[in-house]
Amino acid sequence: MLMTFKCKRCHCVFDCDFGSIAMPESSAEPYFERGVICPICGEVTIDDVHLTEPGECQLATETLDIDDDFWDFADSQCYGCDRYLPVNDLNLCDECDNKLDRDFIRKRDWDYSKSVFGLDPSKREELRKQVVARHGEKLELITYSRGKKRSARKHRKRRKKTL
Ligand SMILES: [Zn+2]
Ligand SMILES: [Zn+2]
C-alpha cells in the first residue's frame, strides 16, 4: 500500500510503500509491514512522520478503524477559543457553545438559545437573571466572533488582565 507521508525530521514529503497495515489489538499504534522509509533519513518510526492529506484519505479508505487522533490531526479549530477540539455544527467547542448560549440569553435572543428551548416564556427572564448572576452581564462570545480573530484575541487578553 502506497501512502504519502511528511517527515517531521527533514520535512520532505515522500511516498512510501509500507506493505500492509494492521491495527494489532495489543498496541495502540498501527503496524506497518515494511516500515516507513524517508528518502533522506532512512527508516523512520510513525512518530517521525505526519500523514499528508492525500495520505489520510488513502489510509481512511484502507483502514477505517484507526483513530484519527493518532495522526496529529486536530478535530477542528473552535471558532470561539481557537483551540483544536471536537466542535459542533457552528464550529464551537462545548465550552464556547455554552458561552454562546448564555450570550443569546443575555441578548434575549430566546429563539437561538438551546437552554430556553421548550422553556415557559415567563421563566425566561428568570433564567437570564441566573445567567447574569453567575456569569456576569458581559457577552462572552458574540463580540469576539464578530470581529477579526486577531483583535478578538487581544481583546480577550486585555479582559483577563482586568479580572
Ligand atoms: Zn526525513
Ligand atoms: Zn471553544
> What are the tens digits of pLDDT across the range 41-69?
999 888 888 877 666 666 666 555 555 54
Q: What is the per-residue pLDDT for 20?
A: 77
- State the chain's mean pLDDT as an integer: 78
Say how many Å lie between the CA of residue 85 and the centre of ligand 1: 29
Phi, psi of 77, deg, nearest 5? -90, 130
For 134, residues 6+ apart whose C-beta sits below 8 A from its C-beta are none
- With 0.85 as the threshold, say if the pTM is over it: no
Going from the Cα of 111 to the center of ligand 2, the distance in angstroms, rounded, reads 22
Nearest-10 Cα torsion for 13, 28, 73, 44 = -20
Centre of ligand 2 from the C-alpha of residue 3, in Å: 33
CA atoms within 13 A on the CB side of 77: 4
What one-character-per-residue DSSP string does 23-71 give? --TT-SS-EESS-EEETTTEEE-GGGEEEPHHHHHHHHHH-TTS-GGGG
- The rounded distance, in Å, linking the Cα atoms of 29 and 2 is 18
Q: Which ligand is nearest to the CA of 38?
A: 1
pLDDT of residue 156: 43
Helix (H) or strand (E) holding 163: none
CA of 40 from ligand 1 middle (Å) equals: 5
pLDDT-derived band at 72 (thresholds 50, 70, 90) equals very low
Between the CA of 48 and the centroid of ligand 2 the distance, in Å, is 29
pLDDT value, residue 142: 84
Give the pLDDT of residue 125: 96
